[in-house]
Structure 1
Amino acid sequence: MAPKTSPDRLIYMPLGGAGEIGMNAYIYGYGPKDRERLILVDMGVAFPDMDSSPGVDLILPDISWLVDRLDRLDAIFITHGHEDHIGALPHLWPLLKKPVYARPFTAALGRGKMEEAGLSRDAIRVVGPMTPIEVGPFSVQYVPVSHSIPESAALCIDTPAGRIIHSGDFKLDPNPVVGEPWDDKVFEALAKERPIKALMCDSTNVFSKSPGRSESSIGGNLSELIKNASGMMVATTFASNVARLKTLAEAGKAAGRSVCFLGRAMRKMITAGEESGILQRFPKSVTVEEAVDIPRGNLMLIVTGSQGERRAASAQLARGKYLGMELREGDTFLFSSRTIPGNERDIGRVVNQLSEKGVEIVDESGGLYHVSGHANRPDLEHVHRLLLPDMVIPMHGEHRHLREHAKIATDAGIQSVVATNGIMIDLTGDVPGVCGYFQMGRVYLDGTALVGAMDGVIRDRIRMALNGHVTVTMIVDEDGSALGEPWADMMGLPPTGKGGRDFVETLEGDLAEFVGSAGRKILADDDKLEEALKRVVRQVAMEEIGKKPEVTIVISRLSAE
Structure 2
Amino acid sequence: MSGNERLVYLPLGGAGEVGMNAYVYGYGKPGKERLILVDLGVTFPDMDTTPGIDLIFPDMSWLIERADRLEAIFITHGHEDHIGALAHFWDDLRVPVYCRRFTGHLAARKMEERGQDPEHIHIVGAHPDVVEAGPFTVSFVPVSHSIPESSGLVIDTPAGRLVHTGDFKLDGAPVVGEPFSAELWHEIARGGVKALICDSTNIHVETPGRSEATLGPHIRELVAGASGMVVATTFASNVARVKTLAEAGRDAGRSVCLMGRAMLRMVQAAVETGVLTDFPPVISHEEAEDIPRDNLMLIVTGSQGERRAATAQLSRGKYLGMELVEGDTFLFSSKTIPGNERGVLRIVNAFSEMGVNVVDDSSSLYHVSGHANRPDLEALHELMRPQMLIPMHGEHRMLRRHAEAGAARGIASVVAVNGTMLDLTGAAPKVCEHVETGRVYLDGTLKVGALDGVVRDRIRMALNGHVMLNVILDEEDEPLGEPWAEIRGLAETGRSKAPLVDIIEAETGQFLARADDKVLTDDDKLDAALRRAVRQVAVEEIGKKPEVTVVISRLA
Pick from 117, 131, 134: which aligns with 1:133?
Answer: 131
Instruction: Give the match for residue 277 of structure 1.
Output: 274
8 A Cα contact 1:487 1:508, kept in partner: yes
Pick from 313, 336, 342: which aligns with 1:345?
Answer: 342
Instruction: Give the match for residue 405 of structure 1.
Output: 402
Cα distance between partner residues in 1 of 2:442 and 2:402: 32
Instruction: Give the match for residue 172 of structure 1.
Output: 170
Q: Using a 3 Å threshold, how does the CA distance of structure 1 residues 366 and 402 change in structure 2: closer, same or farther?
A: farther
User: 1:439, CA displacement in angstroms?
Assistant: 2.3
Instruction: Give the match for residue 231 of structure 2.
Output: 234
Pick from 145, 157, 182: which aligns with 2:143?
Answer: 145
8 A Cα contact 1:464 1:550, kept in partner: yes
SS of match in other structure, 1:539: helix
8 A Cα contact 2:258 2:300, kept in partner: yes
Cα distance between partner residues in 1 of 2:498 and 2:198: 62
8 A Cα contact 2:330 2:357, kept in partner: yes
8 A Cα contact 1:6 1:32, kept in partner: no
Q: Deviations over 1:39-95 (max 9, x none)?
A: 000011101111110011111111000011111111000000001100111111121
**Paired letter, 2:185:** F
Instruction: Give the match for residue 154 of structure 2.
Output: 156
Pick from 185, 192, 195: which aligns with 1:195?
Answer: 192
1:181-220 matches, cutoff 5 A: 181-192=179-190, 194-220=191-217
Cα distance between partner residues in 1 of 2:245 and 2:155: 37
User: 1:537, CA displacement in angstroms?
Assistant: 1.1
User: 1:479, CA displacement in angstroms?
Assistant: 2.2
Q: Deviations over 1:442-467 (max 9, x none)?
A: 11111221111121111111111111
Cα distance between partner residues in 2 of 1:47 and 1:152: 21
Instruction: Give the match for residue 547 of structure 1.
Output: 544
Cα distance between partner residues in 2 of 1:430 and 1:249: 51
Cα distance between partner residues in 1 of 2:432 and 2:538: 51
8 A Cα contact 1:82 1:240, kept in partner: yes
Q: Deviations over 1:22-46 (max 9, x none)?
A: 1001000000001100000001110
Q: Which moved more, 1:231-240 or 1:539-548?
A: 539-548
Residues 1:521 and 2:496 aligned together = no
**Paired letter, 1:98:** V
Residues 1:488 and 2:485 aligned together = yes
Cα distance between partner residues in 1 of 2:448 and 2:329: 41
User: 1:188, CA displacement in angstroms?
Assistant: 0.6
Q: Which moved more, 1:393-402 or 1:6-15?
A: 6-15
User: 1:328, CA displacement in angstroms?
Assistant: 1.1
Q: Which runs of 5+ in 1 are unaligned?
A: none
User: 1:354, CA displacement in angstroms?
Assistant: 1.3
User: 1:6, CA displacement in angstroms?
Assistant: 7.7
Cα distance between partner residues in 2 of 1:549 and 1:302: 46
Instruction: Give the match for residue 61 of structure 2.
Output: 64
Cα distance between partner residues in 1 of 2:363 and 2:186: 33
**Paired letter, 1:184:** A
Cα distance between partner residues in 2 of 1:124 and 1:520: 66
Instruction: Give the match for residue 39 of structure 2.
Output: 42
Cα distance between partner residues in 2 of 1:473 and 1:488: 6
Cα distance between partner residues in 2 of 1:44 and 1:507: 48
Pick from 83, 88, 99: which aligns with 1:102?
Answer: 99
User: 1:521, CA displacement in angstroms?
Assistant: 2.6
Cα distance between partner residues in 2 of 1:119 and 1:456: 30
Q: Which runs of 5+ in 2 are unaligned?
A: none
Instruction: Give the match for residue 90 of structure 1.
Output: 87
**Paired letter, 1:36:** E
Q: Deviations over 1:383-420 (max 9, x none)?
A: 00000001111011101100000010011111110001
SS of match in other structure, 1:196: coil
8 A Cα contact 1:18 1:419, kept in partner: yes
1:298-317 matches, cutoff 5 A: 298-317=295-314
SS of match in other structure, 2:115: coil
**Paired letter, 1:301:** L
8 A Cα contact 1:10 1:161, kept in partner: yes
Cα distance between partner residues in 2 of 1:232 and 1:446: 39
Q: Percent identity?
A: 64
Residues 1:332 and 2:329 aligned together = yes
User: 1:11, CA displacement in angstroms?
Assistant: 0.4
Instruction: Give the match for residue 252 of structure 2.
Output: 255
SS of match in other structure, 2:525: helix
8 A Cα contact 1:389 1:414, kept in partner: yes
**Paired letter, 2:367:** H
TM-score scaled by length of structure 2 = 0.98
8 A Cα contact 1:25 1:42, kept in partner: yes
1:383-422 matches, cutoff 5 A: 383-422=380-419
User: 1:496, CA displacement in angstroms?
Assistant: 2.1
8 A Cα contact 1:53 1:458, kept in partner: yes
User: 1:304, CA displacement in angstroms?
Assistant: 0.5
User: 1:501, CA displacement in angstroms?
Assistant: 3.5
Cα distance between partner residues in 2 of 1:534 and 1:353: 44
8 A Cα contact 1:473 1:487, kept in partner: yes
Q: Deviations over 1:320-361 (max 9, x none)?
A: 111111111111111000011111111111111111211111
RMSD: 1.1
Cα distance between partner residues in 2 of 1:390 and 1:468: 57
**Paired letter, 2:270:** G
8 A Cα contact 1:15 1:61, kept in partner: yes
SS of match in other structure, 2:194: strand
Pick from 370, 374, 379: which aligns with 1:377?
Answer: 374
8 A Cα contact 2:62 2:436, kept in partner: no
Pick from 208, 218, 221: which aligns with 2:218?
Answer: 221
SS of match in other structure, 1:187: helix
Q: Deviations over 1:532-554 (max 9, x none)?
A: 11111112222222221111111
**Paired letter, 1:283:** P
Q: Which moved more, 1:455-464 or 1:75-84?
A: 455-464
Instruction: Give the match for residue 74 of structure 1.
Output: 71
User: 1:478, CA displacement in angstroms?
Assistant: 2.2
User: 1:499, CA displacement in angstroms?
Assistant: 4.0
SS of match in other structure, 1:498: coil
Aligned residues: 554
**Paired letter, 1:181:** P
**Paired letter, 1:92:** F
Pick from 517, 520, 534: which aligns with 1:537?
Answer: 534
Cα distance between partner residues in 2 of 1:200 and 1:401: 14
8 A Cα contact 1:176 1:215, kept in partner: yes
SS of match in other structure, 2:122: strand
**Paired letter, 2:338:** P
Instruction: Give the match for residue 500 of structure 2.
Output: 503
User: 1:229, CA displacement in angstroms?
Assistant: 1.1
Q: Deviations over 1:457-503 (max 9, x none)?
A: 11111111111111111111222211111111111112222243422
